[in-house]
Amino acid sequence: MNNTPNPNKNTGGAQRPAQPQVNRNAQAAGRPAGAQRPAGAQRPAGAQRPAGAQQARRPVQPQGTQNKAPNGKKGGKKNKDFILTVLALVLVVALAITILVCCIKAIVDTVSKNNDTTGSIVTTTGTTGTTAATDPIYPTPVPGAWNEGFTTISRNNNAIHEGDLILVNGNYAYQFPENRSHLDTLYGKTGHGSSGGVFDLGIGMTYPDGTEKPIELSKHIISNLTTMLSEMKAACPTLASYADRHLRIVSGYRTLEKQQTLYENETVEGLTAKPGHSEHHTGLTFDIRVKEKDNNNILYLNDTEQAWITENCAKYGFILRYTDDNKDITGILNEDWHFRYVGVAHASYMVEKDLCLEEYIDFLRENHHYGLDEPLNYTVGETEYTIYYFPASVENDTTNIYVPAANYEISGNNVDGFIVTITK
């Protein structure tokens, strides 16, 4: 998944060979002395080549050079002194170049590091439990590109645990809010019960304080659910008569205690999430079955019904959360009946690209981080969406999230940051 190179990666200068190395190579390759080099520099006369051979290859030699009398005693000493001087000079130059390269590298590294940490966007090393995050660090984006006119809005970092896109799985527990005011019952809503007849409800929830409630879900997803079920009934002949066969919501919101009971009584390992780690805690999830005529059989959807809801649920913001294809990632076996609300834009994209929620969270972080040039632009029907990931601050308790003036929603990802969804 990580196909985004780190734009700050320093590639300058560090591996350039020092100058003396190049000369040595040229020497080994047999370049004639003096061709591109001061005569006699770096190579003692006759050290690697017989004088005769040198003569043969260079028949014409200027008068008065150091090679004039290779065998003469006086000339030899003079040559030796000259060569030692040149060698010392070369060593000094090589040392100077090495020091210079090191200094430049140190300066570049320091500047690069400062740019990274002074920006407001610093990401954490969160993972979804499936693939390790790559710890990307991007500079603050330049205003005037796709984020023209954006300003910041402050969010407490605890808000990463709230919203339609929170990831709740074996690695990331649900953070229960202080109250249940975000919930509402499905009882009596449009389509519920025999009059209007689309669905009925399974056993509700007994709260720890003893109160009993019919099945509840987060308030803001209920109308999407009831609309979807009405259209499912209209599309599936087997559901035409409520009296013969009707849809039943068998589970919605669950308390920690309820999940504890289910977990302890689990008959098939890998179907029931451990307490605190069930998506049902979020109020964004429901389980659906079918109730048959004149008996108490609660069945799975038939093939036609299953196909319709699987293909159409994204239009209403839902995804089929656990499948055979993603069980190695989610840690939960196939559950044809378990649907999760994430919102229309995200559900549609995930279905189109065949991504489960774990993969989608990673995908946004790695490819549509606010510090990168491109958000995710995606159109569903007539509506255009712009989606991006914004990391929670690791230095402060609050995060200043860049957003446009209006028409946006912010959800936590329950891992390490926020996902902003702009509707155009």
**In contact, 4 and 366? CB cutoff 8 Å:** yes
Give the active site residue among 335, 366, 382, 409. Answer: 335
277 or 338, CB closer to Zn ion? 338
Give the residue with the Cβ less far from Zn ion, 246 or 338: 338
Q: How far apart are CA 392 and CA 121, in angstroms?
A: 8
The residues that bridge with 200 in the sheet, in sequence order, are 248
Q: Find the helix or strand (DSSP H, E) in which 340 lies.
A: strand 335-341
Nearest residue to 378 via CA among 334, 424, 333, 337 = 424
Nearer to Zn ion, 231 or 287 (CB): 287
Q: Are 375 and 355 in contact (CB under 8 A)?
A: no
Q: Is 189 in the site for Zn ion (CB under 5 A)?
A: no
Binding span for Zn ion by CB under 5 A among 10-18, 38-46, 109-117, 280-288: 280-288
CB of 295 to Zn ion, least distance (A): 24
178 is catalytic: no
φ/ψ (deg, to 5) at 71? -100, -5
- Candidates 8-16, 332-340, 376-384, 414-422 — which segment interacts with Zn ion by CB under 5 A? 332-340
| Contact window for Zn ion (CB under 5 A) among 136-144, 178-186, 298-306, 331-339 | 331-339
User: Distance (Å, rounded) from C-alpha 284 to C-alpha 304?
Assistant: 25
Asked whether the beta carbons of 423 and 407 are under 8 A apart, the reply is yes
- Closest distance of CB 253 from Zn ion, Å: 11
The encoded tokens of residue 231 equal: 């259209």
The one among 254, 338, 346, 365 contacting Zn ion by CB under 5 A: 338
Cα(286)–Cα(215) distance, integer angstroms: 9
Does 281 help bind Zn ion (rule: CB under 5 A)?
Answer: no
Task: Please tell me whether residue 287 binds Zn ion under the rule CB under 5 A.
Answer: yes
How far apart are CB 280 and Zn ion at their closest, in Å? Answer: 6
Residue least distant from Zn ion (Cβ):
338
Q: What amino acid occupies position 6?
A: N
Q: Which stretch binds Zn ion (CB under 5 A): 26-34, 73-81, 100-108, 282-290?
A: 282-290
Say if CB 133 and CB 416 are below 8 A apart: yes
Binding site for Zn ion (CB under 5 A): 287, 338
Catalytic residues: 335
